[in-house]
């Protein structure tokens, strides 16, 4: 029996790498990160091993999430 690959949502990848959801969508849109679109809602899923490969090849990189400043 083959085991199903672990699939990650855009939000999960963004949280894991401390980047915005938009950054992950950019990587997918421009082919840096392979993904599969599912459902009518258009949710993207990425295999965990594809994320790891993209990180190793420096196609994508973790970052620091900017802190929002409160306007007083």
pLDDT tens for each residue of 21-44: 999 999 999 999 999 999 877 899
Structural domains of the chain ordered from first start: 7-56 (1.10.10)
Q: Residue 65 and residue 61: Cα distance in Å, rounded? A: 12
pLDDT at residue 72 above 50? no
Neighbours of 14 (CB within 10 A): 19
Contacts of 23 (CB under 8 A, 6+ apart): 14, 63
pLDDT of residue 6: 94
Q: What is the pLDDT of residue 69?
A: 47
Looking at residue 40, its pLDDT comes to: 75
* pLDDT averaged over every residue in the chain: 86
Tokens of 14: 């963004």
Average pLDDT over residues 53-69: 73
């Amino acid at each position: 029996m083959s085991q199903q690959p672990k699939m990650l949502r855009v939000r999960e990848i963004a949280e894991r790498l401390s980047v915005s959801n938009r950054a992950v969508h950019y990587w997918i849109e421009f082919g840096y990160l392979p993904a599969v679109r599912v459902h009518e809602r258009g949710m993207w899923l990425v295999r965990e091993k594809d994320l790891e490969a993209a990180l190793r090849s420096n196609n994508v990189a973790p970052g620091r999430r900017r802190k929002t400043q409160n306007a007083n």
